Amino acid sequence: DTGVSQDPRHKITKRGQNVTFRCDPISEHNRLYWYRQTLGQGPEFLTYFQNEAQLEKSRLLSDRFSAERPKGSFSTLEIQRTEQGDSAMYLCASSDSGTHWVTRETQYFGPGTRLLVL
């Protein structure tokens, strides 16, 4: 059973460019979450999916951010017209809604994508 994977692991971009990150959840996990973590802080929720449906979006997710999970498997997070304030670690997590009693609803995290906007 492979864990959550994210690609790329690091991204450096210039202000104003668009970037896209990908997350592959643990297989059979129907829920997928995106968080943002700035240096020295705890992760902050951005959005989450159950299967392909996007169920909640944070106020932090401005119009420049969009996330998709087209077939209920992998997800992408796109940031348009990047700003220096977007520099952060973007974390993806997945969970299962009830198949396994012991681990259900526990979120497992990927390694993150570290974004630096110059």
Partner 1 sequence: AQTVTQSQPEMSVQEAETVTLSCTYDTSENNYYLFWYKQPPSRQMILVIRQEAYKQQNATENRFSVNFQKAAKSFSLKISDSQLGDTAMYFCAFMKIGGDKLTFGTGTRLAVRP
Residues at the contact surface with partner 1, assessed by CB under 8 A: 31, 33, 35, 40-45, 48, 50, 55-56, 58, 91, 93, 95, 97, 105-112
Say how far apart CA 63 and CA 74 lie, in whole Å. 22
| Beta carbon nearer to partner 1, 25 or 43 | 43
Closest CB to partner 1 among residues 32, 79: 32
The amino acid sitting at 105 is: E
Give me the least distance between CB of 89 and partner 1, in Å please. 10
Q: How far is the CB of 94 from partner 1 (least distance, A)?
A: 11
Strand ranges, E, within the chain: 5-7, 10-13, 19-24, 31-37, 44-50, 53-57, 65-68, 75-79, 88-95, 108-109, 113-117
Q: Residues 61, 5: contact at Cβ < 8 Å?
A: no
User: Considering the complex, what minimum distance in angstroms separates the CB of residue 78 from partner 1?
Assistant: 20
CB of 97 to partner 1, least distance (A): 6
Within 10 angstroms of residue 46's Cβ, the number of other Cβ atoms is 21
Identity of the residue, 75 or 95, whose beta carbon is nearer to partner 1 in the bound complex: 95
1 versus 14: smaller Cβ distance to partner 1:
1
